[in-house]
Amino acid sequence: MIIQVPPTVPVVPEQLDPSAVPLAVPEIVWSAVAPALVLMIGGILLLTVVSLVRKPLPSWFHATWTVATATAAICATVPLWQRVQDNGASSEMAGTVGLDGFSLFVTGVICVSVILAALLLEGYLRREDLVGPEWYVLMLLSASGGVVMASANDLIVLFLGLEILSVAVYVLAAMHSRRTSSQEAGLKYFVLGAFSSAFLLYGIALTYGATGSTNLAGIQTFLADNVLVDNGLLLAGLAFMLVGFGFKVAAVPFHMWAPDVYQGAPTPVSAYMAAGVKAAGFAGLLRVFVTTFGPTYREEWMPMVAALAVLSLVVGSVMAIIQTNVKRMLAYSSISHAGFILLGVAAASDAGTSAALFYLLVYTFMVAGSFGVVTLIGRKGDGRHSLEDYRGLSRARPGLALVFTVFLLAQSGIPLTGGFLAKFYVIGAIVDEGLYALAAVAMLTAVISAFLYLRVIVAMYFAGPAGAEEGSEEPAEFAGPPVRIPAAAGLALGLALVGTLALGIVPGPATEVTRDATAELTVGN
């Protein structure tokens, strides 16, 4: 081989091929990425403002800014939603950003999780004597990554969105500098997350080799027009991508990081991880697997996703029962919820996608509320998370105990809460596809996991004091310092409660929106 020396003379355009057409720069439609832009600019402006102002700003300012930015991002989705409903989906930025109902809906879900987590974070930071707007900046930028990921129409953009989302959360998990377990959580999440990103990237590379494109619409068209004689490369790519997404949504057997990280991370960050990060991860999974590979390769990936779903359901609910730390218990329960959402993915139908989206919305409210209560019960030091610490809560804080009961019952799927309908829709979508065995497993594990939620409720309401003999009628004393509820956290709990109940009692509007939130891949203009 002769190594050609690249031309050292600066190449002037005229010296190139004279027939070369001028560079076709794609049209930049700013409005198409408006929600992500709002979040990015909001985060960076917050960082700039707090660095320029000499006096430290009050902590409510950061939280208010964050909530306002996330609200603005939600508002930005409304006209886009109208446009998509009227004119259909489109794809912008040289076909790398998909503008469809699906991406806009997930954007909304991520923004809701940011709002709830930011409200929880405000009181948390004051309680823990932690300062700094960086928490909010990182959360906003992370959410922008999630939005990019949900609207990605190209595997490279999807990967970048995932990294923006994840890297910020690695830092957030480690940001409680005085808690060793927070540092541990951050490092564990970082190492395993980087590992899973490598898997995803490898899968993307193999898929690119097999289809000649990283563009999802391009891949879909290629597979529709061509039949691959040897599809080993594509199948390996699919498998590796599934591993990468499985890590991000904490599906068994790629869940090993989740309990440690959820337990060690600052509790409002756990809330954001369980709600926002999971929603973005599932958005990527649905977009790549259901929308892109759904029409052509469903038979190949469906068994893999179904296996992940069954394992997540079983392992998540069984392991959750034997936990004594409530945060860890919620982590395992979030694995089991991931199993339910994976059922919606495995259905690989429009109904399945809508059910998964509805589940994500409801789950955001439920889990943010649950972790919100856990944040408050943790008290100063964020360390009181064992089941013992919940004994007698119904006496010390009857309102808080009642709210937590609602969130736990909703997670177990009691009717009149959003949790019931979420599970109902997912199982309905699975049954429509004739996958009765999966539906049976789902219902069985729903019963098992109901037991774990009842365990917490029993500890709050009925359990005697620690150390008393069985069956003692002595009322439980709530141990430790009193629980304080900051105004912002109270607002977050109220919002989460309203969301959880409203979606259960008046599900109509949300159901219609999720039905309209279809993912479409369109070739860019």
Partner 1 sequence: MRVEMFTFLLAGLICLGGALGVVLFRNTVHNALSLVATLFGVAVLFIAQEAYFLAAVQVIVYAGAIVILFLFVIMLLGVDRADQMGVDPIVGQRTAAVVFGVAILGLSLVALLSGPEVVTGTPATTAALSSDIPDVNQIGEALFTDYVFAFEITAVLLTIAVVGAVVLARRSDGPVIDEDEFDGTALDALALEEPSDVGDPDQDTADGADPGSGADETDPDDLEEASR
Q: Could you tell me the sign of the dihedral formed by the alpha carbons of 474, 471, 373, 384, in that order?
A: positive
User: DSSP E strands: which ranges in 54-112?
Assistant: 90-92, 97-99
CB of 236 to partner 1, least distance (A): 3
CB of 335 to partner 1, least distance (A): 20
Burial 291-306 (b: 16+ CB within 10 A, else e): bbbbebbbeebbebbb
CB 243 within 8 A of CB 193: no
Coil, strand or helix: which one is 92?
A: strand
Cβ closest to partner 1, residue 23 vs residue 52: 23
Of the candidate spans 224-232, 354-362, 388-396, 484-492, the one that interacts with partner 1 by CB under 8 A turns out to be 224-232
Which of 50, 74, 84, 93 lies at the binding interface for partner 1 (CB under 8 A)?
A: 93
CB of 130 to partner 1, least distance (A): 9
Interaction of residue 49 with partner 1, rule CB under 8 A: no
Which DSSP string do the residues of 221-243 spell out, in sequence order?
HHHHH---S--HHHHHHHHHHHH
Instruction: Give residues 7-46 in contact with partner 1 (rule: CB under 8 A).
Output: 7, 11, 16-17, 20, 23-26, 28, 33, 40, 44
Tell me how far apart the terminal alpha carbons of the chain are, to the nearest angstrom. 40
Interaction of residue 470 with partner 1, rule CB under 8 A: no
Interaction of residue 491 with partner 1, rule CB under 8 A: no
Q: Could you tell me the sign of the dihedral formed by the alpha carbons of 339, 340, 346, 350, in that order?
A: negative
C-beta neighbour count of 451 within 10 angstroms: 12
CB 344 within 8 A of CB 356: yes
CB of 164 to partner 1, least distance (A): 5
Instruction: Give residues 155-174 in contact with partner 1 (rule: CB under 8 A).
Output: 156-157, 160-161, 163-164, 167-168, 170-171, 174
Cβ closest to partner 1, residue 15 vs residue 472: 15
Residues 6+ apart with CB under 8 A from 396: 478, 482, 483
Interaction of residue 265 with partner 1, rule CB under 8 A: no
Task: Give dist(CA 307, CA 57) in Å, integer.
Answer: 50
Coil, strand or helix: which one is 267?
A: helix
Cβ closest to partner 1, residue 119 vs residue 210: 210
Interaction of residue 148 with partner 1, rule CB under 8 A: yes
Of the candidate spans 71-79, 176-184, 336-344, 407-415, the one that interacts with partner 1 by CB under 8 A turns out to be 176-184
Q: Angle CA(237)–CA(287)–CA(269) in degrees, nearest 5?
A: 100
Interaction of residue 141 with partner 1, rule CB under 8 A: yes
CB 80 within 8 A of CB 202: no
Of the candidate spans 189-197, 246-254, 339-347, 394-402, the one that interacts with partner 1 by CB under 8 A turns out to be 189-197
Interaction of residue 466 with partner 1, rule CB under 8 A: no
**Residue 370: closest CA among 339, 335, 329:** 329
Q: Estimate the crossing angle of helix 278-285 against helix 326-347, to 10 degrees.
A: 20
CB of 137 to partner 1, least distance (A): 6
Could you tell me the two tokens for 91? 């794809």
Interaction of residue 297 with partner 1, rule CB under 8 A: no
Of the candidate spans 223-231, 269-277, 353-361, 480-488, the one that interacts with partner 1 by CB under 8 A turns out to be 223-231
Interaction of residue 144 with partner 1, rule CB under 8 A: yes
Which of 49, 132, 314, 501 lies at the binding interface for partner 1 (CB under 8 A)?
A: 132
CB of 453 to partner 1, least distance (A): 24
Of the candidate spans 126-134, 270-278, 298-306, 441-449, the one that interacts with partner 1 by CB under 8 A turns out to be 126-134
Interaction of residue 212 with partner 1, rule CB under 8 A: yes
CB of 153 to partner 1, least distance (A): 10
Question: Amino acid identity of 61?
Answer: F
Instruction: Give residues 383-422 in contact with partner 1 (rule: CB under 8 A).
Output: 383
Could you tell me the two tokens for 108? 């909304």
Cβ closest to partner 1, residue 97 vs residue 252: 97
Cβ closest to partner 1, residue 16 vs residue 52: 16
